């Protein structure tokens, strides 16, 4: 059981800055995120794209912004729980008991949801029968590549994941790479490599085809793919891999009794608390009149929510407003030696 | 101003006057037309405002910018007439445009 003052759900810029604001006022926190790294949408959707509207930072990429925020919260030694999705929530007297998908448990005074547009989940095939084989012969990520040795693998997608795995698995498996168009979004060098392997007969490339159906008893045996112009091909296949990127889903947060409006959580603008006492929501996931989905708005919301958490974490103490330029306490927490 | 017709998956038709300068995505979201999620808010960073454009309109629309086709790879059941509605900016030229909203976005 991890006992701390505040649990932050989401390690995007807003969640990271909230950890900073909590640290400054002397509260501890831990952060849970479903991705394998901090940064949220900044890292997952646009790590290399410049952002131009962070106050006092004329230009930075999503990756730079994330790294700077991580540096800024370093003094607080915040504990991260990555690859974990928050699942269960229970009120336990004045505290919250939270459990994640991986069985990690928390005992906290308050919760800050900084979940963006939800947790990132793999996009799946639209063909219904695919569900039946998911996790046994159809996968959206690879955990153990040894199972593919000497088998026939059909890989779908045109991005880096699809290309990289097609190239790698073609060494020891029979690989079909299927993509909906001639163009690819993956790196040019990988595209060339795939085309070379196709010419050398070490891989079969099918473009302008999409999944039509899968069949098999317990495991996938054959798949059918359909060309843009309607022609259908049947291919023997032991395994199917789909790499269509990630989609954001609100997930279990929907069941927590919060007021939800169009996939966002309603909050007040005084401290960004939801309709449930002790649960706050900040960043893209919250809504209120005038809400702007900007990182700078998330920072403002984080500062106020952090202060809103104080009364739950330290009910017998009074929070005094201080500046980091002059507050001895804040500077000590930041580890500044004078 | 342009009249845009959105056909939703429940076989309903919504015809809306959308102001010039807004996107086809915004026209739907602001008028509570279901089926367009627009998770990233119009940044061409997701594919949840995916629509099918009525065939006769395909050639009349501004062509796809770099990146739109890449994002459409991620869309739910993309077809030849797929577009991201956040990339379609409304002008008088789009008056009468019809789009079909897919059964889901992901």
Strands A2-9 vs A29-33: parallel, antiparallel or unpaired: parallel
CB-CB neighbors (< 8 A) of B48 in chain A: 247
Token duo for residue B39: 């998770």
| H helix and E strand count, chain A | 8, 22
Tell me how crowded residue B74 is: count the other CB atoms within 10 A of its CB: 22
Residue of chain B with shortest Cα separation from A117 = B39
Residue A31: the pLDDT is 98
Residue A277 belongs to a domain: yes
Token duo for residue A29: 């926190």
Are A142 and A116 within one domain?
A: no
Say how far apart CA A98 and CA A90 lie, in whole Å.
Answer: 6
**Superfamily grouping for domain B2-100:** Beta-grasp domain (3.10.20.30)
Asked if B68 and B39 touch (Cβ cutoff 8 Å), the reply is no
Residue of chain A with shortest Cα separation from B75 = A244
Token duo for residue B25: 């995505």
Listed by start position, the domains of chain B span: 2-100
Token duo for residue B83: 């577009």
Asked if A66 and A74 touch (Cβ cutoff 8 Å), the reply is no
Strands B82-84 vs A209-215: parallel, antiparallel or unpaired: unpaired
Residue A121: the pLDDT is 84
pLDDT string in tens for chain A (338-residue length): 999 999 999 999 999 999 999 999 999 999 999 999 999 988 887 788 899 999 999 999 999 999 999 999 999 999 999 999 999 999 999 999 999 999 999 999 999 999 998 888 889 998 989 999 999 999 998 888 999 999 999 999 999 999 999 999 999 999 999 999 999 999 999 999 999 999 999 999 999 999 999 999 999 999 999 999 999 999 999 999 999 988 888 888 888 999 998 789 999 999 999 999 999 999 999 999 999 999 999 999 999 999 999 999 999 999 999 999 999 999 999 999 87
CB contact under 8 A, A157 and B37: no
Are A59 and A86 within one domain?
A: yes
Are A16 and A102 within one domain?
A: yes
Instruction: Tell me the nearest-neighbour CA distance from B103 into chain A, angstroms.
Output: 10
Contact with chain B for residue A127, Cβ under 8 A:
no
CB contact under 8 A, B70 and A263: no
CB-CB neighbors (< 8 A) of A284 in chain B: 41
CB contact under 8 A, B106 and A126: no
Which CATH number does the domain housing residue A206 bear?
A: 3.50.50.60
Are A136 and A238 within one domain?
A: yes
Find, among A84, A138, A109, A93, the residue nearest to A251 by Cα.
A84
- Which of A244, A275, A308 is a domain's end point? A244
∠ CA(A56), CA(A25), CA(A69), 5° rounding?
A: 35
Instruction: Tell me the nearest-neighbour CA distance from A126 into chain B, angstroms.
Output: 7
Are A49 and A142 within one domain?
A: no
CB contact under 8 A, A123 and B80: no
Say how far apart CA A155 and CA A165 lie, in whole Å.
Answer: 8
Token duo for residue A92: 């336990």
Are A237 and A147 within one domain?
A: yes
| Nearest CB to A248; choose among B39, B69, B70 | B39
User: Which of B39, B42, B68 is the mutation pick for testing A, counting most A CBs within 10 A?
Assistant: B39
Strands A105-113 vs A2-9: parallel, antiparallel or unpaired: parallel
Burial of A295 (0-12, 13-18, 19+ CB in 10 A): buried
CB contact under 8 A, A126 and B70: no
Residue A7 belongs to a domain: yes
Q: Is the pLDDT of residue B20 over 80?
A: yes
Token duo for residue A89: 């929530």
Are A29 and A165 within one domain?
A: no
Token duo for residue A52: 């131009």
The edge-to-edge listing of strands for the beta sheet with A260-261 is: A260-261, A264-266, A286-287
ipTM above 0.85, yes or no: no
Residue matched to tokens 């994640």: A100
Say how far apart CA A70 and CA A39 lie, in whole Å.
Answer: 9
Residue of chain B with shortest Cα separation from A42 = B45
Say how far apart CA A40 and CA A248 lie, in whole Å.
Answer: 11
How many domains does chain A contain in total? Answer: 2
User: Which of A40, A140, A247, A293 is the mutation pick for testing B, counting most B CBs within 10 A?
Assistant: A247
Strands A239-242 vs A152-156: parallel, antiparallel or unpaired: parallel
DSSP class of residue A232 equals E
Q: What is the pTM of this model?
A: 0.78
- CA-based Rg of chain A, rounded to a whole angstrom? 24
Residue A195: the pLDDT is 97
Say how far apart CA A7 and CA A20 lie, in whole Å.
Answer: 13
- Which of A197, A221, A244 is a domain's end point? A244
Residue A338 belongs to a domain: no
CB contact under 8 A, A248 and B80: no
Containing H/E element for A109?
A: strand A105-113
Are A134 and A40 within one domain?
A: no
Residue A337: the pLDDT is 81
Residue A112 belongs to a domain: yes
Residue A105: the pLDDT is 97
Instruction: Tell me the nearest-neighbour CA distance from B40 into chain A, angstroms.
Output: 8
Residue A118: the pLDDT is 86
Find, among A218, A141, A211, A203, the residue nearest to A179 by Cα.
A211
CB contact under 8 A, B73 and A45: no
Residue A63: the pLDDT is 94
User: Which of B25, B38, B74 is the mutation pick for testing A, counting most A CBs within 10 A?
Assistant: B74
Instruction: Tell me the nearest-neighbour CA distance from B92 into chain A, angstroms.
Output: 28
Burial of A98 (0-12, 13-18, 19+ CB in 10 A): buried
Containing H/E element for A61?
A: strand A60-61
Sign of CA dihedral A270, A271, A276, A282: positive
Residue A143: the pLDDT is 83
Tell me which residue range forms the domain holding A60: 2-121+247-333
Instruction: Tell me the nearest-neighbour CA distance from B36 into chain A, angstroms.
Output: 11
CB contact under 8 A, A181 and B76: no
Are A131 and A265 within one domain?
A: no
Are A142 and A229 within one domain?
A: yes
CB-CB neighbors (< 8 A) of A185 in chain B: 69-70, 73
Residues 36..65 of A with a Cβ closer than 8 Å to B: which?
A: 41, 45-46
């Amino acid at each position: 059981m991890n006992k701390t003052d505040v649990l932050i759900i989401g390690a995007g810029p807003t969640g990271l800055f909230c950890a900073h604001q909590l640290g400054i006022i002397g509260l501890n926190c831990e952060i849970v995120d479903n991705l394998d790294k901090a940064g949220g949408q900044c890292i997952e959707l646009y790590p290399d794209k410049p952002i131009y509207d962070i106050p006092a930072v004329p230009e930075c990429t999503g990756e730079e912004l994330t790294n700077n925020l991580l540096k800024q919260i370093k003094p607080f030694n915040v504990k991260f729980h990555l690859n974990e999705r928050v699942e269960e929530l229970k009120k336990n007297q004045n505290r919250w008991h939270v459990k994640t998908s991986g069985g990690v448990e928390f005992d906290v005074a308050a919760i800050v949801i900084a979940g963006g547009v939800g947790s990132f989940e793999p996009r799946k095939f639209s063909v219904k029968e695919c569900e039946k084989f998911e996790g046994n012969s159809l996968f959206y990520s690879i955990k153990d590549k040894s199972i593919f040795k000497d088998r026939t693998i059909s890989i779908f997608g045109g991005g880096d994941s699809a290309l990289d795995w097609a190239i790698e698995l073609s060494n020891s498996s029979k690989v079909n790479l299927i993509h909906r168009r001639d163009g690819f979004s993956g790196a040019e060098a990988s595209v060339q490599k795939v085309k070379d392997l196709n010419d050398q007969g070490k891989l079969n490339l099918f473009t302008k085809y999409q999944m039509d159906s899968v069949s098999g008893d317990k495991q996938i045996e054959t798949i059918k793919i359909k060309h843009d112009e309607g022609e259908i091909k049947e291919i023997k296949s032991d395994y199917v891999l789909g790499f269509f990127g990630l989609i954001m889903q609100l997930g279990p947060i929907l069941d927590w009794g919060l007021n939800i409006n169009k996939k966002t959580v309603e909050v007040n603008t005084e401290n960004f608390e939801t309709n449930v006492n002790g649960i706050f929501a900040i960043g893209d996931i919250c809504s209120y009149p005038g809400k702007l989905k900007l990182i700078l708005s998330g920072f403002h919301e984080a500062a106020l929510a952090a202060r809103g958490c104080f009364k739950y974490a330290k009910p017998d103490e009074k929070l005094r407003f201080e500046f980091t330029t002059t507050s001895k306490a804040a500077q000590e927490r930041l580890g500044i030696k004078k | 101003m342009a009249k845009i017709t959105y056909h939703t998956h429940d076989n309903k038709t919504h015809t809306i006057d959308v102001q010039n300068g807004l996107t086809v995505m915004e026209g739907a979201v602001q008028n509570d037309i279901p089926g367009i999620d627009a998770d990233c808010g119009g940044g061409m960073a997701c594919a949840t405002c995916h629509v099918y454009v009525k065939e006769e309109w395909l050639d009349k629309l501004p062509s796809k910018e770099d990146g739109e086709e890449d994002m459409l790879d991620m869309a739910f059941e993309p077809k030849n007439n797929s577009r991201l509605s956040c990339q379609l900016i409304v002008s008088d030229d789009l008056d009468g445009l019809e789009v079909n909203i897919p059964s889901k976005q992901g």
